[in-house]
Amino acid sequence: MSLGFRLWDILPKMNRSLAPSKAQCLRRCGAANIARTRLHTIAAAAAPVAGERRAKANIDWDTLGFGLKDVAATMYVAEWTPEKGWDSGKLVPYGPLNMMPSAQVLNYGQAIFEGMKAQESAKGRVVLFRPDQNAARFKAGAARMSMPAVPEDQFVEAVRATVENNLDYVPPMGKGSLYLRPLLMGTGPILGLGPAPGYTFAIFAAAVGAYFKGGQLSPIDLIVEERFHRAAPGGMGGTKAAGNYSPVLVTQLEAKKNGFADVVYLDAKTDTYLEEVSSCNIFVVKGKTIKTPPLSGTILPGVTRRSIIELARSRGYDVQEAAVSVHEAMEADEIFTTGTAVVVSSVGSLTYRGNKKAYTAPGQAGPVALEMYSALTDIQTEKADDKFSWVYPVK
């Protein structure tokens, strides 16, 4: 058992031969010059052909939620050792990963993750959205957590191969998406605090629908949280570390019990300025000005956040990355949130110290949120021209 880690017992029975991949060069991070020898090939077992798409999944596409009910059959796994670095990885059946109780990730939490989506486009093919940005953030997160970075070309190729080998689970256009969860974990055993002696890079996927229960465009009600903070200056707020997320559950669950969809966190210094919702960025609209809190180390640099900033500016909005006080938010014309899972979600109301400000009519999305959602998803599904070169074809 290498480094106390092995895959489930079925792995030795698999065909481990490697077939040449059809990897495409990354466009947005200069990968056109990457030597083909660095594009890692992936096992192509059970790759569906175009005519058989969705034949095996047996999924009710009209009732998709955001969960693991329809988890994809295949996942990707690669391992790192000090002697060999990252191996080329392989596709294996989705299932448990065995590791020792002394695995670093189980004791000291050395782990980061990403969230991505693959969708069917209007051109009849499956596409990813800005995978180079996720690869770059994954690399930055690894550095912050003292883990060996996954090469960006290997990351994108692994994501592409995972999607290609799970095409049955990509919903029809407009019904949802194939959500992908890349993970980087310190799986090597260790007792004292320190970096793990071995690491695992894994990607699993699931067919999903809307993140919030009301549906993709249903406005959500938020409450401002004043007891707890999501992050502090000099901390981990800007890293997609696994340990950043469970601490929000105590406030999120309480908010949901009281009829809210989620909470908005304030800055840890003054309890004055908006930072983030539990798992998404926030935007405040006043006239033709859109403001979002700046990336100062406490806020996650969201890929959707960045895309909305670029998209809104191209559509004539004055977009400012600047501090937004809670009082300014209560006087705003509109608020919306962004993230891979939520895409763009209109905020119906914000409650602060018992005062509730409504921004939309019941059940109706705000006009700017709706405009941004439509413009972004039209690009993501190739209904509109992709002048930003954000879309990455898979199949």
How many Cβ atoms from other residues are within 10 Å of residue 170's Cβ? 27
Q: Which element (helix H / strand E) includes 129?
A: strand 126-129
Structure tokens at 133: 């940005």
What's the alpha-carbon Rg for the chain, to the nearest Å?
A: 21
Query: Is 315 in a helix, a strand, or coil?
Result: coil
Dihedral pair phi/psi, residue 109, rounded to 5°: 75, 30
Round to whole Å and give the CA distance between 337 and 215: 14
CB contact at 8 A, 146 and 138:
no
Sequence letter at residue 142? A
Q: Rounded to 10 degrees, what is the CA torsion of 313, 315, 318, 319? A: -40
Cβ contacts of residue 78 below 8 Å, gap of 6+? 86, 87, 88, 89, 90, 150, 154, 158, 200, 201, 202
Q: Which of 249, 255, 294, 290 is nearest to 274 (CA)?
A: 294
Residue 199 contacts residue 188 (beta carbons within 8 Å): yes
Tokens encoding 72: 């994809």
- The question of whether 240 is a catalytic residue gets the answer yes
Query: Beta 126-129 vs 177-185: how paired, if at all?
Result: unpaired
Residue 338: other Cβ atoms inside 10 A: 26
- Among 240, 291, 383, 387, the active-site one is 240
Side chain identity, residue 11: L
Q: Phi-psi category of 334—alpha, beta or left, where left has phi over 0 and alpha has psi -120 to 50?
A: beta
Positions annotated as catalytic residues are: 240
